[in-house]
Chains A and B, each alone.
Chain A
Amino acid sequence: MIRVIYSPQWFYGKDIVIDLVSVFVLLLIAFFSFKYYKIRKNKNYVYFGLSFILLSVSFLFKILTNFTIYFHVLETKNIGFLTLTYQTIKTSDVLFIVGFLIYRLLTLFGLYMLYSVYYDQPKTNILLIAYLILVSTYFTQSAYYIFHLTSLILLVLLTIQYSKTYIKNKNNATRMLASSFGIITASQILSIFVSISTKFYVVAEIIQLIGYVILLFSFLTVLRHGKKKNKD
C-alpha cells in the first residue's frame, strides 16, 4: 500500500504553515515580476512570474492534500467504526495520488520554466523536457524520490546560475538569492530520505522554511535598494 503520510503526528499542521509561508513568498515575487513587466516589456519577466505562480500553485495542492489527509486521519481515530474508517482511508489514498501528482507536476514545470529563463531553450527541447517531466511524475507514484531527484537537479542548476550572477554583479541581494536556492536544494536532498525516518521530513521542511525566508529577505533587499537609489 502507498504510504500516505511522511510527517510525524506532532508535526501535523506545522508543515502546512511552512508551505503557506513559501506560497506567500512565491506569490509576492510573482506579483512584482508581472508589475515590472508592464514597465520593462521584457518577456523574461512574464516567464519568471509564471514559474513562481506554478510553484506557488503546486504548494497549494500540497497544502490541500496534506490538510485533507491529516483531517481524515484524525477523523478516523475519533469515529472508530471499521467500515467507515476503511472508506475514509481509501478516499485519502485517491486524494494523495491525485493531489501529490499535481503538486509534483507543477513543481517540476515551474522549476523548468525558471531554468529556461536563464538558459535559452529551443522549442524541440521544451517538448522533450515536458515529456520527460510527465513521465518522471508518473513514476513518482511508485518511487517518490524520483521527484525530489529531478527537483534537486533543476535547483542545483538554478543555484549555479544565481552564483554566477553574484560573481558578476557582487550584489548583496543576489548572494542571498543564491544562498536561498542553495538551502532549498538542501531540503530536496533530505526529502529523498523521508521514507527512512519521519525526522528527515521535519528537517527538510524546516530547511525549506529557512530557504524561503532568505528568499523573502533577498527580495525585500532588492526593493529597499531600488527605493534607496531613488532618494540618492
Chain B
Amino acid sequence: MERKRTRIDIIGDMLTSILKKGGEIKPTHLMYKSNLSHSQMMSYLEDLVQKDFVKKVKKSHYEYIIITDRGCEFVQKLQEVKEFEKAFGL
C-alpha cells in the first residue's frame, strides 16, 4: 500500500508539476496534476507564494502560477533528499 503523502511530498509534487509544464501552469491544471481538492490546493498555494517558491501572474485574462528560482532550488534539494532516503532506506 502506498504511504500517505506528507506536506513536503505534496509541495514537491506541485512544484514538479509546474516545472514539467515549462515553469508556468494554470491553477486548475495544477490542482489535477497534484491530486488535490480546490481548498487543499489554495491552502498549499498560499503557503508556496508566502515562501516565494511560486508567484501568481495574469496573462490575457487567465491566472498563471509561475515557479521562481527559489522554487526550482527547492525541487533540486528535495530530489537529493529523496535519493538519500531511497538509498539509505529511511
Which residues of A line the B interface, CB within 8 A?
Answer: 32-33, 36, 39-42, 44-45, 48, 117-118, 161-162, 164-165, 168-169, 171, 173-174, 177, 218, 221-223, 225-227, 229-230
Contact = CB atoms under 8 A, between A and B. Distances in A.
Given A39-B8, A41-B8, A230-B75, A171 B80 contact: no
Contacts of B84: 32-33, 36, 222, 226
Interface in B52-77: 74-77
Contact of A223 (B8, B78, B80, B82): B80
Contact of B89 (A33, A165, A225, A229): A165
Contact of B87 (A44, A45, A117, A177): A177
A171 B88 CA distance: 10
B90 interface: yes
A191 B14 CA distance: 51
B89 A226 contact: no
Contacts of A225: 83, 87
A48 to B, nearest CB: 6
A39 B78 contact: yes
Contacts of B88: 48, 165, 174, 177, 222
Contacts, number: 66
Interface residues of B, number: 18
B42 interface: no
Contact of A162 (B74, B75, B86, B89): B89
A39 B89 contact: no
B90 A42 contact: yes
Contacts of B8: 39-41
A178 to B, nearest CB: 10
B36 interface: no
A45 B75 CA distance: 19
B56 to A, nearest CB: 24
Most chain A beta-carbon contacts within 10 A, residue among B74, B75, B82, B86:
B86
B85 interface: yes
A169 B86 contact: yes
B78 A45 contact: no
Contacts of A44: 90
Given A41-B8, A227-B80, A173 B87 contact: yes
